[in-house]
């Protein structure tokens, strides 16, 4: 049988959009399809925000979608916005989301406004069971599947429909070039709503489902869940802000918690915010840009967590700044990680990962200034501990925390879970991942984190065989790769996929 689509990308956040952009340079856009419930491609969780206080934590000059055009984002800023076209600036994330969406739309790649429910493999083809969505369902599905509300965008339509197997003729696709003429618009899902499951046949699939909701607090009163005083998805709609004297508890102290803090302040909340995490560490701040020398961990360093730490400390002792030292590892961190035996990887995760994360994933200077001011004024309190329960108390919530001394209880009006995405994919509520695990087409990485993949991103099935049809990009590879969530690393993965798949 002839295939109507050569490659399907499941997920239209940053990972999926970057994969599409790179593939479009090697493969005809009509051979590529992105399946995504949101109205626009490229937004995802991080870039859907419209809050101007939510800034990139990468300088504008380092986050172009094209590796061979490092000034592309800066040029776009100059052409399309009033934001200073300064390569050293930290632009609002919403602007980078607009930039990514626009670059995707320029490719002409089609967007299927649907949700993938199941993936099966038959000989040399992949079958995807799709559920098409109404507008209200699309909002809810995107929220359920990846933990972020879709970004509202202009309606688009398909000029060249893709043939599907199914019971209905109407196929709610969106193209990438705006609305087609009325007669060329069979995929307008407002006019042709489709709710029946249909099957799409393709040659290759790239999974780009991004992040999932954080691990839930083990014990939560059902009353608290129902009335909205506990928020597991901070990108969802919030209830009314509490009175200024009532504290808000944020579970986590990373960049997600900082985002929540900034949003609280932008919305007018002036009360006390208490951040709680296991180590009680805030992310560091970016400083002046520094030139990066060769890796501070030499390639011949013995593959152990302790040896890597000693090499890093020796570089600092010789005068290397910690920021430049961390940045020097960007290009080699995945190689260094791959050299470590499983036991050493576990040791690194236990003892060093939190230190790496706070120094590697830094706050923009303006953001760090706001956080520092809140700390100095006593409006922000950072504590060590592990939140294990939230109970309904009279006129407030009782947040139960395990601390070194035993347990503690904190009274709060609102609790937000900012602990970071869940990477135990056996536990997350994802129909497409559940189907892959159930059929044995995928398995978790040996560390229990994300998916098992080979060095090229191909899925490894339950029998240990490497797929030549199913691939993963971005956070889905967090088990086998050390760095896989930042744009430069995802961009590199996308380029590798484009080169690999174009040769087949």
pLDDT at 188: 32
Quote the percentage of the chain above a pLDDT of 70: 86
Is the separation of the CB atoms in 418 and 234 below 8 Å? Answer: yes
Percent of the chain whose pLDDT exceeds 90: 69
Q: In the prediction, which pLDDT does 12 show? A: 95
Q: Which residues of 420-434 are buried (b: 16+ CB within 10 A; e: fewer)?
A: bbbbebeebebbbbb
Q: Which residues contact 426 (CB under 8 A, 6 or more apart)?
A: 437, 444
The model's pLDDT over 234-268, given as tens digits with 9 standing for 90+, comes to: 988 888 888 767 899 999 999 999 999 999 999 99
Paired with 125 in beta bridges are 122
Summarize pLDDT for 191-238 with one digit per residue, the tens.
333 345 678 899 999 999 999 999 999 999 888 888 889 999 998 888
Is the confidence at residue 156, as pLDDT, over 80? Answer: no
Q: Vertex 97, ends 94 and 98: CA angle to 5°? A: 90
Higher-confidence residue of 259 and 500: namely 259
Name all domains of the chain by residue range, CATH numbers in brackets: 5-41+107-212+423-478+494-502 (3.50.50.60), 219-284+362-417 (3.50.50.60), 305-360 (no CATH)
pLDDT at 131: 85
Higher local confidence (pLDDT), 321 or 136:
321
Q: What is the mean pLDDT of residues 32-59?
A: 92
Q: Give me the sign of the Cα torsion angle 13, 438, 418, 415.
A: positive
Q: Do residues 89 and 60 touch, judged by C-beta distance below 8 A?
A: yes
- pLDDT (0 to 100) of residue 252: 97
pLDDT in tens, 269-323: 999 999 999 999 999 999 998 887 799 999 999 999 999 999 999 999 999 999 9
pLDDT of residue 246: 82
Give first-to-last CA distance, the chain, whole Å. Answer: 18
Confidence class for position 167, pLDDT limits 50, 70, 90: very low
Token pair recorded at residue 99 = 């930039």
pLDDT digits (tens, 9 = 90+) for 318-351: 999 999 999 999 889 999 999 999 999 999 999 9
Q: What is the largest CA-CA distance in the chain?
A: 71
Residue 58 has pLDDT above 80, yes or no: yes
**How far is Cα 461 from Cα 458, in angstroms, rounded to an integer?**
10
Q: Is the pTM of this model over 0.95?
A: no
Find tokens 């986590």 and name the residue: 252
Considering only 42-56, 184-198, 416-430, which range has the smallest mean pLDDT? 184-198
Residue 472's φ and ψ, nearest 5 degrees, are: -130, 150
């Amino acid at each position: 049988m002839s295939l109507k689509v050569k490659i399907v990308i499941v997920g239209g956040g940053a990972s999926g959009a970057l994969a599409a952009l790179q593939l479009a340079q090697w493969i005809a856009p009509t051979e590529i399809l992105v399946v995504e419930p949101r109205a626009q491609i490229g937004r995802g969780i991080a870039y859907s925000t419209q809050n101007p206080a939510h800034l990139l934590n990468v300088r504008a000059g380092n986050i172009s979608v094209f590796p061979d055009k490092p000034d592309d984002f800066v040029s776009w800023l100059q052409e399309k916005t009033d934001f200073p076209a300064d390569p050293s600036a930290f632009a609002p994330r919403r602007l980078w989301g607009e930039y990514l969406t626009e670059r995707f739309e320029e490719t002409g790649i089609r967007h299927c406004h649907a949700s993938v429910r199941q993936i099966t493999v038959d000989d040399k083809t992949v079958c995807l069971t799709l559920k098409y969505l109404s507008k209200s369902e699309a909002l809810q599905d995107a929220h359920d599947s990846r933990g972020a509300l879709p970004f509202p965008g202009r309606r688009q339509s398909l000029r060249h429909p893709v043939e599907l197997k199914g019971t209905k003729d109407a196929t709610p696709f969106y193209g990438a070039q705006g609305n087609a003429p009325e007669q060329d618009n069979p995929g307008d899902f407002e006019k042709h709503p489709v709710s029946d499951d249909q099957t799409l046949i393709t040659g290759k699939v790239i999974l780009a489902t991004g992040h999932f909701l954080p691990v839930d607090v083990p014990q939560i009163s059902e009353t608290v869940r129902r009335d909205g005083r506990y928020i597991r998805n901070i990108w969802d709609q919030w209830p009314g802000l509490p009175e200024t004297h009532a504290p808000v508890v944020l579970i986590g102290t990373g960049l997600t918690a900082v985002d929540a803090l900034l949003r609280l302040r932008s919305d007018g909340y002036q009360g006390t915010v208490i951040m709680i995490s296991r180590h009680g560490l805030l992310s560091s701040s970016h400083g002046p840009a520094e030139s990066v020398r060769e890796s501070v961990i030499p390639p011949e360093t013995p593959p152990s967590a302790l040896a890597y730490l000693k090499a890093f400390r020796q570089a600092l002792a010789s005068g290397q700044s910690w920021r430049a030292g961390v940045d020097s590892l960007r290009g080699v961190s995945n190689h260094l990680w791959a050299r470590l035996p499983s036991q050493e990887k576990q040791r690194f995760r236990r003892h060093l990962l939190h230190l790496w994360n706070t120094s590697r994933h830094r706050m923009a200077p303006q953001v760090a200034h706001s956080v520092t001011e809140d700390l100095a004024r006593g409006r922000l309190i950072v504590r060590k501990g592990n939140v294990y329960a939230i109970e309904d108390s009279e006129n407030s919530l009782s947040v139960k925390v395990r601390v070194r001394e035993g347990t503690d209880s904190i009274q709060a009006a609102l609790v937000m879970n900012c602990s970071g995405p869940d990477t135990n994919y056996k536990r997350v509520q994802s129909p497409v991942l559940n189907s892959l695990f159930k059929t044995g087409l995928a398995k978790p990485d040996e560390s229990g984190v994300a998916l098992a993949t080979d060095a090229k991103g191909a899925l490894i099935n339950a029998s240990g065989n490497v797929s030549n049809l199913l691939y993963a990009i971005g956070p889905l590879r967090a088990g086998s790769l050390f760095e896989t969530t930042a744009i430069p690393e995802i961009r590199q993965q996308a380029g590798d996929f484009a080169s690999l798949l174009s040769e087949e």
